[in-house]
Amino acid sequence: MDKTKLVVIGNGMVGHKLLEAVVASGAAAQFSITVLCEEPRPAYDRVHLSEFFAGKSAEDLSLVQGNFFDDNGIHLHLKDKAVGIDRAAKTVKTAAGAEIPYDKLVLATGSYPFVPPVPGKDREGCFVYRTIEDLEAMTAWGKKSKVGVVVGGGLLGLECAKALKDMNLQTHVVEFAPRLMTVQVDDGGGRVLRKKIEELGVIVHTQKNTLEIVDGPGMGVAGRYAMKFADGSQLETDMIVFSAGIRPRDELAPLAGLNRGERGGIAVDEFCRTNDPDIYAIGECALYQGRIYGLVAPGYQMAQVVADQLTGKTESTFRGADMSTKLKLLGVDVASIGDAQGSTKGALSYSFVDERKQIYKKLVVDASGKLLLGAVLVGEAEEYGTLLQMMLNGMSLPDAPEMLILPISEGTARPQMGLDALPAGAQICSCNNVSKGAICAAIDEGCTTLGALKKSTKAATSCGGCGPLVTQILKHELKARGVAVSNALCEHFAYSRQELFHLVKLGGIKTFDELLEKHGKGHGCDICKPTTASILASIYNEHVLKPKHAKLQDTNDYYLANLQKNGTYSIIPRVTGGEITPDGLIAIGAIAKKYGLYTKITGGQRIDMFGAQVHELPLIWRELIDAGFESGHAYGKSLRTVKSCVGSTWCRYGVQDSVSLAIEIENRYRGVRSPHKMKLAVSGCTRECAEAQSKDFGVIATEHGWNLYVAGNGGMKPRHADLFAGDLDHDTLIKYIDRLMMFYIRTADRLQRTSVWLENLEGGIDYLRKVVVEDSLGIGAELEADMRLLIDTYECEWKKAINDPAVLKRFRTFVNSNEVDPNVLFVEERGQIRPANEEERKSRLGSIPVVTESSH
């Protein structure tokens, strides 16, 4: 069968979405696909471009999953640009001279930044903000600069201002119009936004028409350049970034006889087809009914429509898109819904301004007051999801619509949108085009957590703005299905770990028996006992081996060592921050040699000694403690290690002393018990040799302080950590980790690592920032005090154990004999012991009769 030759020009976000949609349709095998991409790398996330300045790499931003192109037989031409289309011959000509035949052609050429024709705009320090190469050039120049100006106060301009701020430049925004974000917000919203942004140290200049850019008066003193404005004023700066809007990349169209709009854009119909039925245009280069859609969500919709058309689902159409948007600009929440300016005839508005907290909210309703037409939210945008759905689905407003935006006081609830009234077709996640119906279907298929829903439907996985709404739907639908979502820990307790934690803390409960008597039933089990032991340890930090807690401990905590497959244990002394003296190394070596232990370096920069039997543990630890070591808590669900790179003390590139900080952090949190193990790391520069972004809590040095990352994970399901806060000073960093760790301990499920915890946390990282940074729940001081108690009451469990005869008595292989376990057999491999395998064990046990003496 002859394959349809599909050529896609452009591998931006939308072009790539088209490829993914074709692959997802299962019909990719019918096509021979060629992609032309003029940039040196395939698709990346332009929406989150500013994160490049907060430490993300080009790879982090990549949208290409694994070997997507190879796996699906797609020919990708990087650094090659289409320069002509021969519609008669049906070929695309490239800059490299190739002529690529097509049956179907898709133009996904995107847009370019508009640079106003100001004399001097081509000077060396002038940039645009579009590609990773632009960012690299900005970074290089930024290093030589003190002051930066962004021309354009729109959405992208403010993103760009964040980038300049991240480079630690004195940052100015110059806008031609009287307010920021002219398209999305009204005057009131613009005022609050400006005030908020100015408080963050960005200097805003509105109503400034730049006439020319000349050499600065001081030549490197006041700035390299001066921008001269129409009102006679001027601004000195070292670099200028133009972000004054975008223009469609439509230059191929007129050459090929494809229709263009008057002000640019390749004209398409509802099938995203140009005037040539075999040529489509999607994304920011396409013009539908006189309009360019400069957001990613409509672009994705167009990509889906074209994929549908190509694969035979001809009923699929694009009929315009809602341009509502919610984003965080310089840390300020801004949302704009529908007719934000109230330009519909007869429209009425409600508004609420809180100048102290700097919050602005406005509703635009129709003349009857029954329908929502639009809204503006600045400073706080939690209502976005609800309001958007009301507007999109024409749902009727409550009698007092103002209640939707007024602050809620204690004891009153904001009127909720009737989720039942939301039609199945309502689009909940616009980034990934997930409808309410799709969410309900996933719930029917067994997704009962937010994490499972995200994985299954992709809802709330891009911008995350719909997360709260998805959660509401999930809860509502589960209830409607009569699914009592049992979060019971086990058959003995009808409570989740989080609920048990609160019962223990509020009730001052100190033992498992008391908890079982008050809130549970039966004897308990291997689920609830260790969970309770962990909770008691997290709250009171009592020695885990106290007689009353002994029966609760998993064997690792009972014997303070890690059980291995043959019933022996391994031992890991603490090597704080991975720093160890030669004497320490010698001591560990000598002890391992004396007891015949297998030694291996761990991933957490420590030394693990394997093959110890129960009765040997105290003997080994006596010697380790005498040599100055302490318990490494490798056996506990607790803080494990704080890995570090060598840092600025030795490294040519290090900018901060990562080893000292790692040691300080490890000593601070050592022994802290938690729902699951916690791993930390500190890197001394952005080269990130300590791999902090794969840790539960990771710290990376910057030139101005420390960046804090949360919820990274290696292991079975790797997860890149999220940047929680940047450029923190030492004390703030420690304060945030105190709060984060304690909040995790309080609220996570049993055996839930921080990665899954954050994925399932309602409101995600924004919510976490509110709780930790803004102290929105008012529990900041309490979290710190709880952590302080754990820090102040730290004790080395092994030091205590070897000095307590009652505890030592438990460390016996046999209660009635001094024999060793005859089933524990080792063979030699590479100069060390390893457990004998089944065959080796059987032949040894069989051939040598085991003679044992009973002690009775």
Distance CA 563, CA 634 (A): 11
- Write out the E strands in 342-412: 348-354, 359-365, 372-378
Element (H, E) at 191: helix 187-199
Q: Give the number of other CB atoms < 10 A from CB of residue 773.
A: 17
Q: Kindly state the smallest distance separating residue 592's Cβ from another protein, in Å.
A: 22
Element (H, E) at 624: helix 617-626
Q: Kindly state the smallest distance separating residue 849's Cβ from another protein, in Å.
A: 9
Distance CA 122, CA 186 (A): 33
Q: Give the number of other CB atoms < 10 A from CB of residue 647.
A: 25
Q: Give the residue with the Cβ less far from another protein, 263 or 842.
A: 842
Q: Give the residue with the Cβ less far from another protein, 208 or 549.
A: 549
CA distances from residue 417 to 51, 482, 752 in whole angstroms, order as listed: 34, 21, 32
Q: Give the residue with the Cβ less far from another protein, 156 or 489.
A: 489
Q: Which residues pair with 378 in a beta bridge?
A: 334, 360
Q: Number of H helices and number of E strands within the chain?
A: 27, 39
Q: Give the residue with the Cβ less far from another protein, 57 or 837.
A: 837
Q: Give the residue with the Cβ less far from another protein, 529 or 643.
A: 529
Q: Kindly state the smallest distance separating residue 830's Cβ from another protein, in Å.
A: 23
Name the phi and psi angles at 487, rounded to 5.
-105, 20
Largest CA distance in the chain: 105
Q: Kindly state the smallest distance separating residue 556's Cβ from another protein, in Å.
A: 8
Pairing label, strands 607-612, 569-571: antiparallel
Q: Kindly state the smallest distance separating residue 104's Cβ from another protein, in Å.
A: 55
Residue type for 178, please?
P
Question: Which three-class secondary structure state does DSSP give residue 86?
Answer: strand
Q: Token pair of 238, please?
A: 């070292």
Distance CA 193, CA 184 (A): 12
Q: Kindly state the smallest distance separating residue 512's Cβ from another protein, in Å.
A: 9
Measured in residues, the chain has a length of 856
Q: Give the residue with the Cβ less far from another protein, 174 or 552.
A: 552
Cβ-proximal residues to 489 (8 Å cutoff; 6+ apart), any chain: 495, 496, 497, 500, 527, 528, 531, 750
Q: Give the residue with the Cβ less far from another protein, 345 or 856.
A: 856
Q: Give the residue with the Cβ less far from another protein, 67 or 854.
A: 854
Q: Give the residue with the Cβ less far from another protein, 791 or 824.
A: 824
Specify burial of residue 681 (Cβ count, 10 A radius: 0-12, 13-18, 19+).
Answer: buried
Q: Give the residue with the Cβ less far from another protein, 465 or 835.
A: 835
Q: Give the residue with the Cβ less far from another protein, 652 or 809.
A: 809
Q: Give the residue with the Cβ less far from another protein, 175 or 797.
A: 797
Q: Kindly state the smallest distance separating residue 819's Cβ from another protein, in Å.
A: 6
Q: Kindly state the smallest distance separating residue 515's Cβ from another protein, in Å.
A: 14
Q: What b/e string do you get for 587-596 counting C-beta neighbours within 10 Å, with b at 16 or more?
A: bbeebbeebe
Name the phi and psi angles at 834, rounded to 5.
-145, 155
**Residue with the two structure tokens 């976490």:** 768
Q: Kindly state the smallest distance separating residue 823's Cβ from another protein, in Å.
A: 5
Q: Give the residue with the Cβ less far from another protein, 551 or 770.
A: 551
Q: Kindly state the smallest distance separating residue 498's Cβ from another protein, in Å.
A: 22
CA triple 25-30-31, angle to 5 deg:
95
Q: Give the residue with the Cβ less far from another protein, 209 or 843.
A: 843
Q: Kindly state the smallest distance separating residue 851's Cβ from another protein, in Å.
A: 8
Rule CB under 8 A: which residues touch another protein?
Answer: 491-492, 513, 522-526, 528-530, 547, 550-555, 558-559, 563, 565-567, 614, 809-810, 812-817, 819, 821, 823-824, 838, 841, 850, 852, 854-856
CA distances from residue 438 to 269, 312, 320, 471, 712 in whole angstroms, order as listed: 27, 21, 21, 14, 29
Q: Distance of alpha carbon 804 from its chain centroid, rounded?
A: 46
Q: Give the residue with the Cβ less far from another protein, 555 or 776.
A: 555
Distance CA 417, CA 750 (A): 33
Q: Kindly state the smallest distance separating residue 815's Cβ from another protein, in Å.
A: 4
**Strands, sheet with 82-86, edge to edge from the N-terminal-most edge strand:** 82-86, 91-94, 99-101
Q: Kindly state the smallest distance separating residue 545's Cβ from another protein, in Å.
A: 10
Q: Distance of alpha carbon 136 from its chain centroid, rounded?
A: 23
Q: Kindly state the smallest distance separating residue 413's Cβ from another protein, in Å.
A: 41
Q: Kindly state the smallest distance separating residue 540's Cβ from another protein, in Å.
A: 20
Contact 250, 285 (CB under 8 A): yes
Q: Token pair of 337, please?
A: 């819904």
Q: Token pair of 192, please?
A: 């609050």
Q: Kindly state the smallest distance separating residue 532's Cβ from another protein, in Å.
A: 11
Specify burial of residue 854 (Cβ count, 10 A radius: 0-12, 13-18, 19+).
Answer: exposed
Q: Give the residue with the Cβ less far from another protein, 117 or 547.
A: 547
Nearest to 130 by CA among 36, 49, 240: 49
Distance CA 564, CA 556 (A): 10
Q: Is the dihedral of CA 34, 39, 41, 46 positive or negative?
A: negative
